[in-house]
């Protein structure tokens, strides 16, 4: 594991500790980001840092660093870590408190943590054969647009998928698609790419944005709108997307085939566009 950045210091993993009274530990009172790095080049760093700032503002937590300071720290870690391709995790909590109290401390001292881990691309077989998913009621809180560290509901939902031998849980709230337990979900029907509307019930995914940008760039018809559960189950294709898993086809949902039960032609196109886009990032010529 790489050195860990903690409140202005670079430490070995065994040296990096936070107080028991840190609100991130006791309440999950914090925000996080996961930034993929290809060939030591962070993927969409500006967008990740902007989302970090939005989430911090949403919970009234001062950002301990400016965007330029975060950028310098991320680039330093990307250069020094052991791997060319990495996943950089950063987290900011409201910091320690004198006594356990739900109300915010008057003068918070945020705790900032960052580290890198090796990132391997999704198994080629998953892209070629597809993955299975289960459906689940979206039991999470009503501010999923905030990338908060309190992820117990997401963990429960993801474990439900794992227990069923599946790659993801596809979530529905009040009869409509929201997202996956740890991914964005896309639907293809009759040549049209469908994406749920960004709102407080889903995380504004960075990869979600890339896919819609690629669709627009390449002339793939697409709509962003509410998507009913029946539409998901009757889809020709179903995809999951995230920073670390990129784009994968879901070919089975609740043990029932999606479309023909194999990755579809629009998925093959999107995967090719995404890999070309990623290659541009690795060359330092990110687009579109």
Task: List residues with catalytic annotation.
Answer: 147
For residue 118, what are the β-bridge partners? 86
Which of 194, 161, 186, 190 lies closest to 246 in space, CA to CA?
Answer: 186
Which of 177, 21, 172, 221 lies closest to 101 in space, CA to CA?
Answer: 21
Count of Cβ atoms closer than 10 Å to residue 230 Cβ: 9
- How far, in Å, are 81, 169, 175, 188 from residue 231 at the CA level? 44, 17, 10, 9
**Most distant pair of Cα atoms in the chain: their distance:** 59
Q: Half-sphere exposure of 79 toward its Cβ, with a 13 Å CA cutoff? A: 6
């Amino acid at each position: 594991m790489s050195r860990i950045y903690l409140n202005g210091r670079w430490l070995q993993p065994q040296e990096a500790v936070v107080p028991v009274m840190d609100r991130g530990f006791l309440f999950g009172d914090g925000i996080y980001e996961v930034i993929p790095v290809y060939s030591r080049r962070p993927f969409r760093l500006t967008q990740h840092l902007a989302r970090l700032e939005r989430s911090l503002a949403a919970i009234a937590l001062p950002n301990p660093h400016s965007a330029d300071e975060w950028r310098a720290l991320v680039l330093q870690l990307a250069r020094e870590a052991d791997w060319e391709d990495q996943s950089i995790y950063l987290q900011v909590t409201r910091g320690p408190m004198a006594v356990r109290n739900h109300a915010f401390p008057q003068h918070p001292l945020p705790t900032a943590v960052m580290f890198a881990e090796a990132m391997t691309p999704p198994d080629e077989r998953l892209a070629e054969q597809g993955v299975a998913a289960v459906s689940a009621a979206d039991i999470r809180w009503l501010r999923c647009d905030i990338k908060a560290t309190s992820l117990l509901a997401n963990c429960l939902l993801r474990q439900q998928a794992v227990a069923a031998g599946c790659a993801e849980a596809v979530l529905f709230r009040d009869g409509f698609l929201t997202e996956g337990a740890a991914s964005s979900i896309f639907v293809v029907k009759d040549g049209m790419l469908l994406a749920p509307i960004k709102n407080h019930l889903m995380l504004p995914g960075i990869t979600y944005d890339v896919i819609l940008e690629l669709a627009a760039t390449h002339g793939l018809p697409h709509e962003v709108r509410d998507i009913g559960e029946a539409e998901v189950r009757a889809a020709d294709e179903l995809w999951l997307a995230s920073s670390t898993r990129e784009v994968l086809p879901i070919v089975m949902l609740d043990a029932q085939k999606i479309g023909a039960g194999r990755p579809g032609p629009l998925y093959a196109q999107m995967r090719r566009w995404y890999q070309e886009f990623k290659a541009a990032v690795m060359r330092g010529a990110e687009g579109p």
